[in-house]
Amino acid sequence: MDRLKRIDALKVRIDGHRPIDTPILKQIREYFRIGMTYSSNALEGNSLTEMETKIVIEDGITIGGKPVKDHLEALGHSEAYDLLFRLAKGRYISEANIKELHRLFYYRIDAKQAGKYRKQRVIITGTEFIPPVPERIPELMQSFIAGIPGAREEHHPVEFAAILHWELVTIHPFIDGNGRTARLLMNLALFQAGYPPAIIPPILRRDYLDTLNKTHKGDDMPFINFIVGVCYESVKEYLRLLEG
């Protein structure tokens, strides 16, 4: 895939700057914290703008007229983002890691459901896909985790990250927050491989959902290609910040 080669060529340029000066690295991380949090939440209907997300996270100020839940989602996603960097120091992804990403994102919203697999069936509007019944989730998650090392070895890191995303969403293990947890997991895989995060702009929401729905019908290449395109833009942005 030509774009994968271009992504890797840009990554080589990024790697040439390592070790990155701590003040610059911190600023870049904070830049992507806001971008990731805003975009991932906006994809799910959160009403905060990118600037409002920044104000909530960095200044702790609430935005008048905006739902409480939207504020809690911003704070929770920001906290889960910090966990990514702790987990990125290794190359291992466990079931407990995924549960903890969900817990950090969700505990302010529903502490009893945070980090816990759902116990009821769910219906996803706008798609024919029907998630597995809750009784199958533990078994499916164990199989998913067991397949991670092999998938990591078999695929390019960006493709591997995309596969983790759609497989977790297909299992749909949590009562809510599955998309955001899947995007956090995808970015954990990218961080572990030394790539910048994949940020899906809300303007691409329809393309994102359309290609994701195709994975439920057995065709995962459109979604993988979509994530490759998103990653290409993110790598360019990271390099722009680094060399700007």
Catalytic residues: 172
Task: Tell me the three state secondary structure of residue 69.
Answer: helix
Contacts with 209 (C-beta within 8 Å, 6 or more apart), sequence order: 126, 127
Q: For residue 95, how far is the Cα from the chain centroid?
A: 16
Residue pair 187/195 in contact (Cβ under 8 Å)? The answer is no
Residue pair 117/137 in contact (Cβ under 8 Å)? The answer is yes
Best CA proximity match to 188, nearest among 152, 140, 232: 152
Residue pair 192/90 in contact (Cβ under 8 Å)? The answer is yes
Structure tokens at 218: 């057995």
